[in-house]
A = this chain, B = another copy of it.
Amino acid sequence: MRQTRSVPELVERARKGEARAVARLISLVEDASPLLREVMAGLAPYTGNAQIVGITGAPGVGKSTSTSALVSQLRATGKRVGVLAVDPSSPFSGGALLGDRVRMQEHATDPEVYIRSMASRGHLGGLAWSTPQALRVLDAAGCDVVLVETVGVGQSEVEIAGLADTTLVLLAPGMGDGIQAAKAGILEIGDIYVINKADRDGADQVRRELRNTLALARDAEDENSWHPPIVKTVAQTGQGVDEVVERLDKHRTWLESTGELARRRIGRARDEIESIAVTALRKRWGDVHARTELDVLAEQVAAGETDPYRAADSLLETYTD
C-alpha cells in the first residue's frame, strides 16, 4: 500500500534525495492532483539551482544513447542528475525507469540519478503542460543538471528549447540531417551542437555544413555573444562526451555572467504563469453546468448574428474589469 504523506513531508524527503518521494511528487504533477498547488508552493523556495538541458535531434541520431552517456559523464564529475523523457506520442504515462530503454538501466540503481518518463497530455504533439512542473520537482530535489529529452518526433523538438537553460542539438552523419535540421528550425535553437556517430563516414561533412549554416545565421554580435560550439561524439563508446559536459559548464557560466540565465528563466516563468491563468479563465468561461455566456455567444456567431470579435468583447466584459 502506498503510504500517504503530507506534501511538506514529501518535499522534505525529496530534498534529502529520497527517490520515492521524488517519484511521488512527479506523479502528483502528472496526475494533476488536487495537491498540485500545494506541491508547487512547497517546492518554490528550493528551485533555481539545476541547469535544465534540453536534448533534441531527429530520430536515429542517438538521443537516448547520448543521454545515457551524458549521465555517466556527469556522475563522474560528482553531479546529481535528473532525466525527464517526454513522449508526446504515447498515451501512457508514468513508469519511473523507462524499462524499455536498456541503456538507461545502468543508471537505475544510482541513488544520485532520477530517471522519469512522462507522456505528453498537452497540446497535440506538444510537450506536456506538466513538463515545467516536473522539472521543478527535479530541481528542488537537488539535481545539478536535469536532462530533458523528447522521445519521438515533431514540434516538441523545438518546444523543448523553450524549457531549457541550455539546448543540445544532436546530428549524425548519413541522415540528410543538414536539411532536416534547417527545416525543423533546430538550427536556431542550439546552444551546443553534437555530431554523434562521429566515427562514421560523413561526420566531417556534416560538421562543415553545420558550421557554414551557423555562420550564415549569425548576426552582427557583440563580444559577449555565445558562439555555439560543435562537438563530435561517439556516444556508444563515450568518446567526446567529456567535452560536451565541459561545454555545458561553460554555457552555464556564460548564462550566469551575462544575465541571460535570469532572462531565460523569467521568460519561462512568464509563459508558465500566463498559461495557468489562461487555463483558469477558460475553465471559468466554459465549465459551468448551466449554459454559459460562451455557449450563447458561440450560437450567435454560428448563426451569423454576431462576429467572433464582438463576441470575444462580450465575453471579456462579463468576466473581467
Contact = CB atoms under 8 A, between A and B. Distances in A.
Nearest to A44: B307
Interface stretch (A216-224, A239-247, A264-272): A264-272
A132 B274 CA distance: 24
Which of A159, A273, A297 counts the most B-chain CB atoms under 10 A from its CB?
Answer: A273
A143 to B, nearest CB: 15
A40 interface: yes
A147 B319 CA distance: 36
A288 interface: no
Report which residue of A124, A159, A280, A308 has the largest number of chain B beta carbons within 10 angstroms of its beta carbon: A308
A148 interface: no
A277 B274 CA distance: 14
B273 A47 contact: no
Contacts of A297: 269-270, 273
Nearest to A306: B44
Contact of A125 (B155, B270, B278): B155
Interface in A272-301: 272-274, 276-278, 280-282, 285-286, 294-295, 297-299, 301
Contact of A272 (B36, B89, B308, B319): B308
B277 A316 contact: yes
Nearest to A261: B302
Contacts of A76: none
A276 B312 contact: yes
A281 B320 contact: yes
Nearest to A39: B307
- Give how many copies assemble into the complex: 2
The A interface is mostly helix, strand or loop, or mixed, namely helix
A19 interface: no
B40 A307 contact: yes
A294 B282 contact: no
A276 B320 contact: no
Contact of A311 (B268, B273, B294, B298): B273
A301 B269 contact: yes
A46 interface: yes
A90 B305 CA distance: 35
A321 interface: yes
Q: Among A44, A276, A277, A303, find the residue whose CB has the most chain B CB atoms closer than 10 A.
A: A277
Contacts of A303: 48
A298 B267 CA distance: 7
Interface string A24-40: 00000000000011001
Interface of A: 36-37, 40-41, 43-48, 89, 124-125, 132-133, 154-155, 158-159, 183, 262, 265-270, 272-274, 276-278, 280-282, 285-286, 294-295, 297-299, 301-312, 315-316, 319-321
11 contacts: A41-B310, A44-B301, A125-B154, A125-B155, A272-B308, A273-B297, A273-B311, A276-B309, A281-B281, A319-B321, A320-B320
Given A40-B308, A280-B316, 9 more contacts: A37-B309, A43-B307, A124-B155, A124-B159, A266-B302, A276-B309, A277-B312, A277-B315, A320-B321
